[in-house]
């Protein structure tokens, strides 16, 4: 029987985010420096068997029922569908976050392996701007990847767009129209201070209110009652779908956070913004049993703080960038 993975504030954790690699074929300006980062040596990455062991322990011991694979770029990890198959067999709600560039080749294989939900990151619909933002000329591949995900039967397909003032905030209505036309849910994400260049500043954040009022001026909206999900969602009044906003900065959802994270090299983190990590790979490779690993996980979650404090003077920026933690 499982016990809830609970922290000192009574929050129960059910959602595990697993980064399968720190490598990436893009270098998005809000995530990685222009000249890239030093990749982890291959032997430092958790093997699929090690990931499966930790995931299975989290499901059996703690009732984790939702797993999202992320990175770096998860699709650059060889044989990703094999890992998807292993995790789908755990009976969890399995999802993937990807830049979408290789989905034209992979979407069918991922679906066949058991993946059902996918988030594809896309921050500009304009080819020049897309190239400047990602440092790759791949907009057409990502757009094809979105079509391939829909055609493969993945449902829902969501499109994540990080909004940055002075960079792409003039595309809010274009993204809303894109989502309506394609039948995908766009999720606008507030820019967070996890960019490797440390160029984040609060004036670059496009707040939820502004995003919603901009969309509403183009398309009448109906609010959707808030669920436990971090996204606030609105439906288009004409019935042509919905969009969401993840307001991690201006309306932090820390109070209802149910997420824990595992980095590509097996570090357990109790928060995206955690400054402390717990080495599960070391435990696995030194022959630790499930009881020992479970007690480290439970203690790490008990230590979780109330919230990330981005808007306060005592905010401490994590040492790692988003690509190294896994979004
Ligand atoms: N490579 C995959 C991708 O781009 O979807 C998965 C990893 S990426 C780090 C996960 C998510 O984090 C993406 O949706 C990306 O847009 C988002 N992200 C990266 N840096 C961010 C930042 N500084 N603020 C907000 N979101 C960010
Ligand atoms: Fe790579 Fe995703 Fe970061 Fe872009 S957001 S650099 S695709 S990890």
Residue pLDDT, tens place only, 120-155: 999 999 999 999 999 999 999 999 999 999 999 999
Residue 107 predicted with pLDDT over 90: yes
Report which bound ligand comes closest to the CA of 197: 1
pTM over 0.85, yes/no: yes
Report which bound ligand comes closest to the CA of 133: 2
- Ligand 2: does its nearest atom lie under 6 Å from the Cβ of 23? no
Average pLDDT over residues 165-190: 97
- Ligand 2: does its nearest atom lie under 6 Å from the Cβ of 99? yes
pLDDT at 313: 62
Domain count, the chain: 1
Average pLDDT over residues 297-318: 79
Residue 92 predicted with pLDDT over 90: yes
Mutate to test the pocket of ligand 1, among 23, 96, 162 (most ligand atoms within 8 A of CB): 162
Nearest CA to ligand 2 atom 4: 28
pLDDT at 226: 79
Task: Give 31 Cα–ligand 2 centroid separation in angstroms.
Answer: 6
Residue 326 predicted with pLDDT over 80: no
Residue 185 predicted with pLDDT over 80: yes
Average pLDDT over residues 69-96: 98
- Ligand 2: does its nearest atom lie under 6 Å from the Cβ of 24? yes
Give the structural domain span for 201: 5-325
Average pLDDT over residues 85-113: 98
- Ligand 2 atom at minimum distance from 322 CA: 3
More confident residue, 17 or 310: 17
- Work out the pLDDT band at 311, boundaries 50, 70, 90: low
Distance between CA atoms of 149 and 83, rounded to whole angstroms? 18
120-129, 161-170, 191-200, 308-317: the lowest-pLDDT one: 308-317
pLDDT at 312: 64
Report which bound ligand comes closest to the CA of 136: 2
- Ligand 2: does its nearest atom lie under 6 Å from the Cβ of 244? no
Mutate to test the pocket of ligand 1, among 20, 121, 197 (most ligand atoms within 8 A of CB): 121
Cα distances (Å, whole numbers) of residue 87 to 54, 289, 299: 11, 20, 24
- Ligand 2 atom at minimum distance from 25 CA: 1
pLDDT tens-digit readout, 20-41: 999 999 999 999 888 888 999 9
More confident residue, 176 or 309: 176
pLDDT tens-digit readout, 232-272: 999 999 999 999 999 989 987 788 899 999 999 999 999 98
Asked if residue 321 lies in contact with residue 31, where contact means CB atoms within 8 angstroms, the answer is: yes
pLDDT at 35: 87
pLDDT at 153: 98
Look up the CATH number of the domain holding residue 54.
3.20.20.70
Task: Give 81 Cα–ligand 2 centroid separation in angstroms.
Answer: 20
Residue 309 predicted with pLDDT over 90: no
- Ligand 1 atom at minimum distance from 161 CA: 16
pLDDT at 314: 64
Ligand 1 surroundings by CB, under 6 angstroms: 24, 30-31, 70-71, 73, 97-99, 121, 160, 162, 189, 191-192, 194-195, 322-323, 327
Percent of the chain's residues with pLDDT above 90:
81
Distance between CA atoms of 90 and 289, rounded to whole angstroms? 20
Residue 222 CB: number of other CB atoms within 10 A? Answer: 11
Residue 47 predicted with pLDDT over 70: yes
pLDDT tens-digit readout, 5-17: 999 999 999 999 9
Residue 172 predicted with pLDDT over 70: yes
Residue 2 predicted with pLDDT over 80: yes
More confident residue, 252 or 67: 67
Residue 91 CB: number of other CB atoms within 10 A? Answer: 10
Task: Give 19 Cα–ligand 2 centroid separation in angstroms.
Answer: 12
pLDDT at 87: 98
pLDDT at 1: 79
- Work out the pLDDT band at 306, boundaries 50, 70, 90: confident
């Amino acid at each position: 029987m499982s016990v809830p993975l609970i922290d000192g504030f009574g929050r129960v954790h059910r959602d595990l985010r697993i980064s399968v690699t720190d490598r990436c074929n893009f270098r998005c300006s809000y995530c990685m420096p222009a000249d890239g980062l030093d990749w982890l040596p291959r032997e430092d990455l958790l093997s699929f068997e090690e990931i499966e062991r930790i995931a299975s322990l989290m499901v059996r011991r703690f009732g984790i029922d939702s797993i999202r694979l992320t990175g770096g770029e998860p699709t650059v990890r060889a044989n990703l569908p094999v890992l998807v198959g292993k995790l789908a067999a755990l009976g969890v709600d399995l999802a993937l976050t990807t830049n979408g560039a290789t989905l034209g080749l992979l979407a069918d294989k991922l679906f066949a392996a058991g993946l059902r939900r996918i988030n594809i990151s896309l921050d500009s619909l304009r080819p020049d701007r897309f190239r400047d933002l990602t440092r790759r000329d791949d907009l057409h591949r990502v757009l094809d990847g979105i079509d391939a995900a829909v055609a493969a039967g993945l449902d829902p397909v969501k499109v994540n767009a990080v909004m940055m003032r002075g960079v792409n905030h003039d595309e809010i209505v274009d993204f809303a129209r894109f989502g309506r036309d394609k039948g995908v849910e766009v999720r606008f994400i507030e820019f967070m201070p996890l960019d490797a260049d440390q160029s984040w500043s609060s004036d670059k954040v496009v707040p939820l209110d502004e995003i919603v009022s901009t969309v509403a001026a183009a398309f009448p909206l109906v609010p959707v009652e808030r669920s436990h999900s971090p996204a606030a969602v609105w439906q288009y009044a004409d019935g042509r779908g919905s969009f969401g906003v993840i307001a991690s900065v201006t309306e932090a959802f820390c109070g209802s956070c149910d997420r824990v994270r595992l980095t590509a090299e097996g570090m357990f983190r109790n928060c995206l913004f955690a400054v402390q990590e717990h080495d599960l790979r070391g435990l696995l490779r030194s022959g630790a049993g499930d009881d020992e690993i479970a007690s480290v996980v439970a203690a790490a979650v008990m230590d979780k703080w109330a919230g990330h404090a981005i808007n306060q003077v005592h905010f401490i920026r994590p040492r790692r960038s988003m690509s190294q933690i896994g979004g």
